[in-house]
A and B are shown apart, each in its own frame.
Chain A
């Protein structure tokens, strides 16, 4: 304790100038925090968030079909837990095989706090609250099981286990939209956080392959391919996203006879995808440029075909270099989904607009925007954390830990 105090003093109050600066900053921070807390605890009326929590979560999704979304959440939670456990059972080279490192214990504690506090703060019914606890238990259980038995999994088994994610994505699509015996829920009834995550995950997943192809196309020796890619990338990068969204929503209705044009939600998701692909292509191209030419030549001279050389030698290195830029792109894509509210879709911001216009909640803008900011921050923080973990895992210079 004493040493920590001494460290604090050394860091904040080393010289008189430092001390003055620290005092001013601490006072300002304190005043800000005090003002915010006073507003949040005494003036803010949080009923607007409590009453509309379902709307913020899933939009106008029919109540009697919401069990499908709970099921999907449970599947996602189970898969996350299992993946988490497997990663710990096969630790990266610079880590010893600690089953429950400190970060993991912290994460479980934090999640437990969220699972207990959020449903309580939203005054959800006991039945719904217990579902949150159930999800937490499921996560910890899967994490524990996979961490314990994951080490015995063969490499083939691990590769198969990774396939769980695309399978869940497809199952999730069916669960959300219906079909295969389930009641169809039209995309016009999707909304809230669900629509935000759906649109952004769809765009993130699809823009990646398209972006890589575009980047390869731009470096290709075939003039048609090269100029086609350049034209596409420069056209998309030269147009604001909102213009493209309006184009997608309005022109398709004229060009395709009624009924043939895809649902508005999908039109918007495709526009997001094609938009993000152009930017991603540039990020990937920067990665490709960072790989020395000798790498490709060496691979070719070893007898690898061009696609094989790309797949096994060039792309893994290029994508690793491009990863931070790509994740930055994904995060801004997630935030760009707020533009969907301008074309009348009820994603998070669209839901917020209609909630703030509800005569019963007029003037509650602060509460609603703060909630939105927290939700977006949570999603972006998760993306950032995931990418940093991935970067460390892919780091070729990681030294095996001595301990």
Chain B
């Protein structure tokens, strides 16, 4: 059955669901989550720094922690998450069939995935700005894409990555030799053994794989990017109230960093805000004033719960991807707008 057929089926059942549960306003997904007492959150499970399983059996990574943040907001308990590892190929079907409540997988926001005529998904704000990069051995003297003229480049076959590379190189008029591999597990060893002059993939993944090389410092990323890959958290389009709740959990993480709220100080700061009526902005953000939580169908203090559970965006980044981790990623575009990055939260009012 084609994907269009599947989606038609999904739409049909979605309609039936609407007809049956029309009397209760708000989000059917949130009602379902509260009824079963846990969030079913899809993660990839094998992307370094984003989601892997730790030796103790717990899911670790920035994507896994986002699931916990949402569970903290909706259920008040960050541990009430059922993680569902799904592969890239079946993630959207898992979501539209109702198997999972939320995709916390690096999914690039594109028009066809978003539009009602395409995949009928709802994308949250960009959670991680990535781009396709090119890694070369530092000793090779390759400094720009043009330097790769006539050289072999390792690439995973049948991916967007392969397409982007071909497009850009045609634009530049650079004749390279693509060396296609079925999977990254074959491509990276081939690159490390010197079978190709460069390897291309998402920059975050290149940096992650580099950390597993024998001599990580001997390899560097070219400054040019081949594509932009802004990835976001995904929910179904049929439940806009749920999409809003997830959207504002992302904004909470970013706003908390901007306001200097951390996992360690958020409760003390909330207590201080409760006493001090002059801190209007902080009182609104932390749910002391106004009823913003209720408007989203969440508890009034959901922001406090989220930050208490996982920390702010900067803490998440440094814990799983940043300098102190084996991945050692730069914040780059993922800095706050106040520091020259792209993350900005709309006002909480």
Interface residues of A (CB under 8 A from B): 51-52, 54-55, 59-63, 186, 188-189, 246, 249-251, 253-255, 257-258, 264, 342-346, 350-351, 353-365
Give the CA-CA distance A60 to B85 in the complex, in Å. Answer: 12
Asked whether B326 lies within 8 Å of A51 as measured between CB atoms, the reply is no
Verify if B6 is at the interface (C-beta below 8 Å from A).
yes
Asked whether B99 lies within 8 Å of A354 as measured between CB atoms, the reply is no
Give the CA-CA distance A350 to B99 in the complex, in Å. Answer: 19
Instruction: With a 10 A CB-CB cut-off, give which of A251, A342, A344, A364 has the most chain B CB atoms.
Output: A344
Asked whether A354 lies within 8 Å of B97 as measured between CB atoms, the reply is no
Asked whether A246 lies within 8 Å of B189 as measured between CB atoms, the reply is no
Instruction: With a 10 A CB-CB cut-off, give which of B52, B83, B93 has the most chain A CB atoms.
Output: B52
Instruction: With a 10 A CB-CB cut-off, give which of A345, A358, A361 has the most chain B CB atoms.
Output: A358
Asked whether A342 lies within 8 Å of B85 as measured between CB atoms, the reply is no
Verify if B84 is at the interface (C-beta below 8 Å from A).
yes
Give the residues in chain A near B326, CB-CB below 8 Å: 359-360, 362
Asked whether A354 lies within 8 Å of B56 as measured between CB atoms, the reply is no
Give the CA-CA distance A127 to B97 in the complex, in Å. Answer: 46
B325-336 vs A: 1/0 string, CB under 8 Å? 111000000000
Verify if B185 is at the interface (C-beta below 8 Å from A).
yes
- With known contacts A188-B84, A254-B13, A362-B209, A55–B55 Cβ distance under 8 A: yes
Verify if B345 is at the interface (C-beta below 8 Å from A).
no
User: Which residues of chain B from 89 to 116 have a CB within 8 Å of any chain A CB?
Assistant: 90, 93-94, 97-99
16 A-B pairs besides A353-B46, A356-B185 with CB distance below 8 A are: A51-B55, A63-B57, A250-B93, A251-B6, A253-B97, A253-B99, A254-B6, A257-B13, A346-B85, A350-B45, A356-B46, A358-B52, A362-B209, A363-B209, A363-B214, A365-B189
Asked whether B86 lies within 8 Å of A344 as measured between CB atoms, the reply is yes
Asked whether B90 lies within 8 Å of A250 as measured between CB atoms, the reply is yes
Asked whether B185 lies within 8 Å of A365 as measured between CB atoms, the reply is yes
Give the CA-CA distance A355 to B209 in the complex, in Å. Answer: 13
Give the residues in chain A near B46, CB-CB below 8 Å: 353-354, 356-357
Asked whether A358 lies within 8 Å of B87 as measured between CB atoms, the reply is no
Asked whether A258 lies within 8 Å of B98 as measured between CB atoms, the reply is yes
Give the CA-CA distance A61 to B57 in the complex, in Å. Answer: 7
Q: How far is the CB of B65 from chain A (nearest CB, A)?
A: 14
Q: How far is the CB of A268 from chain B (nearest CB, A)?
A: 13
Task: State the majority secondary structure of interface residues on A.
Answer: helix
Asked whether A354 lies within 8 Å of B55 as measured between CB atoms, the reply is no
- With known contacts A359-B327, A365-B189, A250–B97 Cβ distance under 8 A: yes
Asked whether B189 lies within 8 Å of A63 as measured between CB atoms, the reply is no
Verify if B27 is at the interface (C-beta below 8 Å from A).
no
B35-71 vs A: 1/0 string, CB under 8 Å? 0000000000111110011111110100000000000
Instruction: With a 10 A CB-CB cut-off, give which of B1, B48, B85, B189 has the most chain A CB atoms.
Output: B85
Asked whether A54 lies within 8 Å of B97 as measured between CB atoms, the reply is no
Give the residues in chain A near B208, CB-CB below 8 Å: 359, 362
Give the CA-CA distance A359 to B55 in the complex, in Å. Answer: 12
Give the residues in chain A near B1, CB-CB below 8 Å: 251
Residue of A nearest to B58 (CB): A60
Verify if B9 is at the interface (C-beta below 8 Å from A).
yes
Residue of A nearest to B83 (CB): A188
Residue of A nearest to B85 (CB): A344
Residue of B nearest to A58 (CB): B57
Asked whether B45 lies within 8 Å of A354 as measured between CB atoms, the reply is yes
- Which residue from A54, A250, A342 sits with its C-beta under 8 Å from B57? A54
B201-228 vs A: 1/0 string, CB under 8 Å? 0000000110111100000000000000
Give the residues in chain B near A359, CB-CB below 8 Å: 48-49, 52, 208, 211, 320, 325-327
Asked whether B325 lies within 8 Å of A344 as measured between CB atoms, the reply is no
Give the CA-CA distance A350 to B83 in the complex, in Å. Answer: 14
Please list 9 pairs of residues, one from A and one from B, whose beta carbons are closer than 8 Å in the complex, sorted by A's number.
A60-B53, A60-B57, A186-B82, A253-B94, A253-B98, A354-B52, A358-B48, A363-B213, A363-B214
Verify if B145 is at the interface (C-beta below 8 Å from A).
no
Verify if B316 is at the interface (C-beta below 8 Å from A).
no
Asked whether A54 lies within 8 Å of B82 as measured between CB atoms, the reply is no
Give the residues in chain A near B211, CB-CB below 8 Å: 359, 362-363
Give the residues in chain A near B327, CB-CB below 8 Å: 359
Q: How far is the CB of A234 from chain B (nearest CB, A)?
A: 20
- Which residue from B13, B55, B82 sits with its C-beta under 8 Å from A52? B55
Residue of A nearest to B13 (CB): A254
Verify if B33 is at the interface (C-beta below 8 Å from A).
no
Give the CA-CA distance A255 to B87 in the complex, in Å. Answer: 21
Q: How far is the CB of A189 from chain B (nearest CB, A)?
A: 8
Asked whether B53 lies within 8 Å of A55 as measured between CB atoms, the reply is yes
Q: How far is the CB of B325 from chain A (nearest CB, A)?
A: 6
Verify if B10 is at the interface (C-beta below 8 Å from A).
yes
Residue of B nearest to A365 (CB): B185
Give the CA-CA distance A204 to B282 in the complex, in Å. Answer: 61
Asked whether B85 lies within 8 Å of A254 as measured between CB atoms, the reply is no
Asked whether A344 lies within 8 Å of B13 as measured between CB atoms, the reply is no
Give the CA-CA distance A186 to B325 in the complex, in Å. Answer: 32
Asked whether B185 lies within 8 Å of A249 as measured between CB atoms, the reply is no
Q: How far is the CB of A323 from chain B (nearest CB, A)?
A: 36
Give the CA-CA distance A251 to B325 in the complex, in Å. Answer: 40
Q: How far is the CB of B74 from chain A (nearest CB, A)?
A: 18
Asked whether A364 lies within 8 Å of B53 as measured between CB atoms, the reply is no
Give the CA-CA distance A159 to B185 in the complex, in Å. Answer: 50
Q: How far is the CB of A273 from chain B (nearest CB, A)?
A: 21
Give the CA-CA distance A191 to B43 in the complex, in Å. Answer: 16
Instruction: With a 10 A CB-CB cut-off, give which of A51, A254, A361, A365 has the most chain B CB atoms.
Output: A254
Instruction: With a 10 A CB-CB cut-off, give which of A249, A353, A354 has the most chain B CB atoms.
Output: A354
Give the CA-CA distance A257 to B16 in the complex, in Å. Answer: 10
- Which residue from B10, B53, B82 sits with its C-beta under 8 Å from A354? B53
- With known contacts A55-B53, A362-B211, A357–B47 Cβ distance under 8 A: yes
Give the CA-CA distance A244 to B208 in the complex, in Å. Answer: 34
Give the residues in chain A near B55, CB-CB below 8 Å: 51-52, 54-55
Give the residues in chain B near A360, CB-CB below 8 Å: 326
Q: How far is the CB of A46 from chain B (nearest CB, A)?
A: 14
Residue of A nearest to B43 (CB): A344
The 6 A-B pairs with the shortest beta carbon distances in the complex, nearest first, are A363-B212, A362-B212, A253-B97, A60-B57, A357-B46, A344-B85
Residue of B nearest to A358 (CB): B52
- Which residue from A254, A258, A345, A353 sits with its C-beta under 8 Å from B9? A254
Asked whether B57 lies within 8 Å of A357 as measured between CB atoms, the reply is no
Residue of B nearest to A360 (CB): B326
